[in-house]
Amino acid sequence: MTTIPTFKLNDGNEIPSFGFGTYQIPADGSTYDAVANALKLGYRHIDTAAAYFNEQEVGKAIKDSGIPRDQIWVTSKLWLQDYAYEDAKKAIDTSLEKLGLDYMDLYLLHQPYGKVDEAWRALEEAQKAGKIRSIGVSNMTPKLWKKFVPSFDTMPAVNQVEFNPYFQQKELRQILADAHVALEAWAPLGEGNKDLFAEPVLNALAKKYGKDVGQVILRFEHQEGVTVFPKSVHEARIKSNAEIFDFELTSDEMDAIRKLDHGKGQHDPDTPGMGQLLLNAFDIHAND
């Protein structure tokens, strides 16, 4: 695979702009195999989370790859259950232990609810202690960003949110640009939305460049300065997803894709009671 370009974060670290996501890949050997394949194919950025329940398999695949640690960017995330300060400190150590790593390259607050300030303080301290290189947040809308971030001592390096051609986060991106905060995309392919993949403009561009629609979408996002990490358990798809660095969309083509924006996504973090809903849905200590 071609060398993957990096984006510079506001803390000086350079994040590979393209990576591999592990959300909903089970920890039954599937995560290990998928991450091992991704690393073999040239990926050097792996995204996981405590609430994905697969950190251990991610860590084992990284270790078994034989690739030097400093060549792989590893992201994990703190779950809501552990946002109280002392719990957050323990959870960071637990993630490191499960991953089998001395440090994580990026660690995020997975959801913007509850004791956010306490959790963020724990991340700041872990960063100072060398356990985490970059710290960030996830699922913060403009409203939630304005609620929490002004009281942080450290500006997040990243906000990981839903992003694809149907939901281009225009208001949020302006806020992040002003604060020099990078945007990372989850659901960069719209979670396989059939309408998105049937869009005439995307299909025409796929035909023009000899690519598939997914590659055109990922290329668009890359050119927008967004870090993406599509996931797949199929080796051929893991390989093809990354083949986006040998063509470039023109400014007119970028504008045409920008017009696909619906201005809203499938998940609305501003929904009242969302924090409690998520807490009820994921109990990460059920098997402790």
Largest distance between two CA atoms of the chain: 55
For residues 213 and 24, give the distance between their C-alpha atoms in angstroms, rounded to a whole number.
Answer: 23
- Enclosing H/E stretch for 76: strand 73-78
Among candidate residues 32, 43, 52, 166, the one labeled active-site is: 52
Residue 220 vs residues 67, 137, 189, 247, 258: alpha-carbon distances, Å: 29, 23, 11, 11, 9
For residues 278 and 39, give the distance between their C-alpha atoms in angstroms, rounded to a whole number.
Answer: 31
The three-state DSSP-derived secondary structure of 91-131 is HHHHHHHHHCCCCEEEEEECCCCCCHHHHHHHHHHHHHCCC
Determine the length of the chain: 288
DSSP per-residue codes, 32-66: HHHHHHHHHTT--EEE--GGGT-HHHHHHHHHHH-
Judging by DSSP bridges, how do beta strands 6-8 and 227-228 pair with one another? unpaired
Judging by DSSP bridges, how do beta strands 158-162 and 132-138 pair with one another? parallel
Q: Please indicate whether residue 103 is annotated as part of the active site.
A: no
Residues carrying an active site annotation: 52
